[in-house]
A and B are shown apart, each in its own frame.
Chain A
């Protein structure tokens, strides 16, 4: 095997460069660990070496983390505990080595990579924007298992440590310096020299002094009583946020507490045990699968690799400067860094749209993710016009005008007249079939659907919808551009509702029926948030907009008949001029744009009395099974290419609980037979809309599954 590390001698300092062969980033695996331990032993025995600098040979990563593939091969808690223990021993060897190890960190320093950095005697980070440090393990349903849960709180205090571990969010080098996570921050150009210099000084007996974090920290982080308050607060926060669905979070708090209160020996044991237990949970398995699925999607253009060629996009046209168009424009300028030309018929709408697009950047500026200068430069990427000036050199145009077939067709004709035949045209619609919009196109081969979700800046999913006439090149162009905008992209068939709205439709209809039956709004929503959705269906109606929901509901009803007949709730709400959050009137009250309580008067409009006692399990079953049944049906129709895309789409598009792995994982988890049995019961009591999808009945007979059962992916 080719070595992962190479060593050069600089006077009495050994510079060890981690450069994993055949990989774009450095990952810590068992094999890498063995090699590093071996290397350290050798250097420790070498009298010519007084100190070690550890750095990365990869351009913009220090160490991306542990090799997660190895986690999936774990077969038992014991095996997982052992993996954690091995990691801990490696880090201990680094920490205890005769020759002090200094970490020279440039680029991403994540997970196991940060745990390794934590074990170093001294850490120096480059001030580069790509230098980020974090412990994302909880996002995979795990905790840092190579000593990180023990070392981090000792270095930065329990508050900062719990914040980093529980959110999994990385910090910038600047923040890391402020937290004391790194000792120095220098420009990349002098990183190595500074690290060598520090290593020599430490070898010469200098011991770095780490300043405290001030009076408050000394009381809160520095006393057992103060820390008790921190643990309790963290516990409450975790319960409120995850509703007990993410066992890694409370476990992480337990481990930190044990480590800080009972000492590191016990702390390390607790850490390994927790890691072992968590690695075997379904939650972690699902989250790891999603991690891999998302990564795989980043390389999947929706067509066999190499079958199409993407047009490089430098200038994007956006037609329609409403909230959607502006969100697309702002995100494209911010994330993809392309020129964006916004066009609308009315100039004052254009101006407002440009402002909303710029606000996407302004929000980053406010959160200090952009400097004033970057903001000014990127802001200038966005411009607006009332005509098609500047469109002749666009490579991609995204149309986001009013959801009406006639309007969209006319706009498409206008765009075609303004752009060259090679410009790809994406139409953003949530319900109108793309084939209908493109029916009269002169060059239908470059027309496709690009279904963004609102608000575009924050929603991570993009559905790209080719028609039967769309060229592969156009498809690949749209998919790759969506990825440049930072979206997770799935390619779906041109069928009403595409994928996400297709499975959402019966779910929202069912929510309407439940409201008609008098299930209180807050109960309805709580049942689903407890199940793991970020918001419940009533709140979702308000977010989406009841006018939009009404329109979508009609389209779906028309396309699929009685099974997707909407409840009458939406009509009643619309008759009372309720549009949801956008006009501050919906299922909830809104004060200054903030949701306050549920609006009970909805039931007067409906003419029903809210139920006092609610069978919450039944509510949940009706909602969940409405969605699952439709998901199975749509899959069998070929709406989505793979179960992976379907599950990722549901998770990223509507917030389907990630720890449940997506609707098809949920179906597999229950088994088709059980699903069919429960659907049949619901069909009897609630109506034929619950009739099990033929594909489920078939699976129930044959024992079929969506995912192969043997592999974890």
Chain B
């Protein structure tokens, strides 16, 4: 565990996100830059943070537009900040938002920065659609051709099938296995039942609906003004189904293995658009500017497993490491947030943390911990709220930090699984 110099703890001041919307719906017209700038700008206004205090913008994005490679710099160029604020973007797959916050943490602890805007954005409504390699090569060759004849002959090799556009798949480049297939495999290998998966999904929706109804979730959302006249106000997530039932969920057909499968559209996180930003500061800077921090980042850890094995088991490794670095045990955790990529993945990780055999494999004296659902995902998770890949980390940090304050909890844990077999864990602590 790193002990920061006095005043150099990295603290979370506040977080804000756009509504999370099913891809292709209410946020379909917004670009990633639009969404990221919208919630970041509003966060500056809500906290009254002067733009000239910002030292850096760190932002995650997984599916990057070829037109805007570095969304963080575009955010930093908001006119609410001086044009001299640098920014960089990163990709730690679904843990990108969390990684941005942890990078900010490191920068702050090191004394390289005092105020960092960190977060992530994803628009799956606006994914780059590519040409086939062959057609792309042809276009490049044609653009270099010096005569009309040469240009035409470059196109001569093109076949109709080359013209079919290529859209990015949510599949492992190393194995070709889709994320859903991995979740299906994990359900089978870990013996996670369809019923348990649906029950988790139901809980996710019910808790997210409650958090929306009582305003705890909507307080973290800046309304989006959609439509041609900008008068279509989107002020809440549109994937949460307050009235869904176990019957409805159990009726859904498995998507990835129609005969023996258990992973359905109902117990998996949907393709989502959204952005989320948090303000990170050094403790001393927060004091100087008069802010009361919500929490501090106490530790974090990343792990990776062989993607050919159980792709989404990374958190089973990352969480014990983060707890060890934080110098605490599972029993110290007042709140836990587990990113719900798939119910089968959540339950597989939960099973691992509670298993003595896993503990042996990890060289631990006993199981990592038993998940207490009354303190876990208390406002639902990605299955209900949605999962704009890189935004999720910042969404969870914001929700957890606010809830830790509300419940006066000392330690909170975040667990996120990510593409490539990676797992991410963070421990947050209350700031006295």
Q: Please report A residues at the B interface, Cβ cutoff 8 Å.
A: 339, 341, 347-352, 354-355, 358, 377-378, 380-381, 383-386, 389-390, 392-393
In the complex, are the beta carbons of B41 and A349 less than 8 A apart? no
In the complex, are the beta carbons of B225 and A354 less than 8 A apart? yes
In the complex, are the beta carbons of B233 and A392 less than 8 A apart? no
Which residue among A351, A354, A355 has the maximum number of chain B CB atoms within 10 Å of its CB? A351
**Contact sample, A vs B, 22 pairs, CB 8 Å cutoff:** A339-B79, A347-B223, A350-B233, A351-B229, A351-B230, A351-B232, A352-B231, A354-B230, A355-B229, A355-B230, A355-B231, A377-B79, A380-B41, A380-B80, A381-B79, A383-B41, A386-B223, A389-B45, A389-B46, A390-B46, A390-B48, A393-B50
B353 CB to closest chain A CB (Å) equals 40
The CA of A76 and the CA of B230, in the complex, are separated in Å by: 60
CB of B172 closer than 8 Å to a CB of A: no
The CA of A537 and the CA of B52, in the complex, are separated in Å by: 51
CB-contact partner of B80 in A339, A352, A378, under 8 A: A339
CB of B37 closer than 8 Å to a CB of A: yes
Beyond A350-B233, A380-B79, 9 additional pairs, beta carbon < 8 A? A347-B235, A350-B225, A351-B233, A352-B230, A355-B229, A358-B230, A381-B79, A389-B45, A392-B48
CB of B171 closer than 8 Å to a CB of A: no
The CA of A354 and the CA of B79, in the complex, are separated in Å by: 16
Q: Which residues of B contact A354 (CB under 8 A)?
A: 225, 230
The CA of A356 and the CA of B22, in the complex, are separated in Å by: 28
Q: Which residues of B contact A350 (CB under 8 A)?
A: 225, 233
CB-contact partner of B45 in A347, A377, A378, A383, under 8 A: A383
CB of B78 closer than 8 Å to a CB of A: yes
Q: Which residues of A contact B48 (CB under 8 A)?
A: 390, 392-393
Q: Please report B residues at the A interface, Cβ cutoff 8 Å.
A: 37, 41-42, 44-46, 48, 50, 77-80, 223, 225-227, 229-233, 235
In the complex, are the beta carbons of A347 and B42 less than 8 A apart? no
The CA of A590 and the CA of B178, in the complex, are separated in Å by: 59
CB-contact partner of B229 in A339, A352, A393, under 8 A: A352
Q: Which residues of B contact A380 (CB under 8 A)?
A: 37, 41, 78-80
In the complex, are the beta carbons of B50 and A351 less than 8 A apart? no
Q: Which residues of A contact B50 (CB under 8 A)?
A: 393
Which residue among B42, B231, B235 has the maximum number of chain A CB atoms within 10 Å of its CB? B231
B238 CB to closest chain A CB (Å) equals 16
A388 CB to closest chain B CB (Å) equals 10
Q: Which residues of A contact B229 (CB under 8 A)?
A: 351-352, 355
Q: Which residues of A contact B45 (CB under 8 A)?
A: 341, 383, 385, 389-390
B18 CB to closest chain A CB (Å) equals 14
**Interface class of chain B by DSSP:** loop
Q: Which residues of B contact A341 (CB under 8 A)?
A: 45
In the complex, are the beta carbons of A349 and B231 less than 8 A apart? yes
The CA of A350 and the CA of B233, in the complex, are separated in Å by: 9
Q: Which residues of B contact A349 (CB under 8 A)?
A: 231
The CA of A389 and the CA of B43, in the complex, are separated in Å by: 10
A574 CB to closest chain B CB (Å) equals 27
Q: Which residues of A contact B37 (CB under 8 A)?
A: 380
A390 CB to closest chain B CB (Å) equals 3
CB-contact partner of A347 in B44, B79, B80, B233, under 8 A: B233
B218 CB to closest chain A CB (Å) equals 12
Q: Which residues of B contact A392 (CB under 8 A)?
A: 48
Which residue among B41, B46, B79 has the maximum number of chain A CB atoms within 10 Å of its CB? B79
A386 CB to closest chain B CB (Å) equals 8
Q: Which residues of A contact B42 (CB under 8 A)?
A: 383, 385, 389
The CA of A662 and the CA of B42, in the complex, are separated in Å by: 47
The CA of A632 and the CA of B120, in the complex, are separated in Å by: 64
Name B235's closest neighbour in chain A (CB-CB): A347
A89 CB to closest chain B CB (Å) equals 50
CB-contact partner of B232 in A348, A381, A383, A389, under 8 A: A348
B240 CB to closest chain A CB (Å) equals 19
Q: Which residues of A contact B44 (CB under 8 A)?
A: 390
The CA of A636 and the CA of B130, in the complex, are separated in Å by: 75
The CA of A352 and the CA of B225, in the complex, are separated in Å by: 8
The CA of A354 and the CA of B230, in the complex, are separated in Å by: 8
In the complex, are the beta carbons of A377 and B231 less than 8 A apart? no
A343 CB to closest chain B CB (Å) equals 11
The CA of A384 and the CA of B232, in the complex, are separated in Å by: 13
In the complex, are the beta carbons of A384 and B225 less than 8 A apart? yes
Q: Which residues of A contact B232 (CB under 8 A)?
A: 348, 351
Q: Which residues of A contact B230 (CB under 8 A)?
A: 351-352, 354-355, 358
Q: Which residues of B contact A339 (CB under 8 A)?
A: 79-80
A314 CB to closest chain B CB (Å) equals 10
The CA of A358 and the CA of B228, in the complex, are separated in Å by: 12
Name B38's closest neighbour in chain A (CB-CB): A383
The CA of A341 and the CA of B232, in the complex, are separated in Å by: 19
Q: Which residues of A contact B79 (CB under 8 A)?
A: 339, 377-378, 380-381
Q: Which residues of B contact A348 (CB under 8 A)?
A: 231-233
Q: Which residues of B contact A378 (CB under 8 A)?
A: 79
B33 CB to closest chain A CB (Å) equals 9
In the complex, are the beta carbons of A377 and B225 less than 8 A apart? no
Q: Which residues of A contact B78 (CB under 8 A)?
A: 380
Q: Which residues of B contact A355 (CB under 8 A)?
A: 225, 229-231
B226 CB to closest chain A CB (Å) equals 8
Top 10 A-B pairs, shortest CB-CB distance:
A390-B45, A351-B225, A355-B230, A351-B230, A352-B231, A348-B231, A347-B233, A389-B46, A351-B231, A392-B48
The CA of A358 and the CA of B233, in the complex, are separated in Å by: 17
Which residue among B37, B44, B45, B50 has the maximum number of chain A CB atoms within 10 Å of its CB? B45
The CA of A393 and the CA of B41, in the complex, are separated in Å by: 14
B13 CB to closest chain A CB (Å) equals 15
The CA of A358 and the CA of B225, in the complex, are separated in Å by: 13
* A377-B80 in contact given A347-B233, A352-B230, A389-B45 (Cβ < 8 Å): no
Name A382's closest neighbour in chain B (CB-CB): B79
B231 CB to closest chain A CB (Å) equals 4
Q: Which residues of A contact B223 (CB under 8 A)?
A: 347, 351, 386
Q: Which residues of B contact A351 (CB under 8 A)?
A: 223, 225-227, 229-233
The CA of A380 and the CA of B231, in the complex, are separated in Å by: 17
B99 CB to closest chain A CB (Å) equals 26
The CA of A341 and the CA of B79, in the complex, are separated in Å by: 13
Q: Which residues of A contact B227 (CB under 8 A)?
A: 351
Q: Which residues of A contact B226 (CB under 8 A)?
A: 351
The CA of A211 and the CA of B45, in the complex, are separated in Å by: 55
Q: Which residues of B contact A385 (CB under 8 A)?
A: 42, 45
The CA of A675 and the CA of B226, in the complex, are separated in Å by: 58
Name B80's closest neighbour in chain A (CB-CB): A339
Q: Which residues of B contact A383 (CB under 8 A)?
A: 41-42, 45
Name B226's closest neighbour in chain A (CB-CB): A351
Name B225's closest neighbour in chain A (CB-CB): A351
In the complex, are the beta carbons of A377 and B46 less than 8 A apart? no
B267 CB to closest chain A CB (Å) equals 34
B56 CB to closest chain A CB (Å) equals 19
Q: Which residues of B contact A347 (CB under 8 A)?
A: 223, 225, 233, 235
Name A337's closest neighbour in chain B (CB-CB): B79
A22 CB to closest chain B CB (Å) equals 35
The CA of A386 and the CA of B223, in the complex, are separated in Å by: 9
Q: Which residues of B contact A358 (CB under 8 A)?
A: 230
Q: Which residues of A contact B233 (CB under 8 A)?
A: 347-348, 350-351
B29 CB to closest chain A CB (Å) equals 13
Which residue among A349, A385, A389, A393 has the maximum number of chain B CB atoms within 10 Å of its CB? A389
B20 CB to closest chain A CB (Å) equals 18
A120 CB to closest chain B CB (Å) equals 38
Q: Which residues of B contact A386 (CB under 8 A)?
A: 223
The CA of A390 and the CA of B42, in the complex, are separated in Å by: 8
The CA of A350 and the CA of B231, in the complex, are separated in Å by: 8
Name A348's closest neighbour in chain B (CB-CB): B231
Q: Which residues of A contact B231 (CB under 8 A)?
A: 348-349, 351-352, 355
Q: Which residues of A contact B235 (CB under 8 A)?
A: 347
Q: Which residues of A contact B77 (CB under 8 A)?
A: 377
A596 CB to closest chain B CB (Å) equals 26
The CA of A354 and the CA of B226, in the complex, are separated in Å by: 11
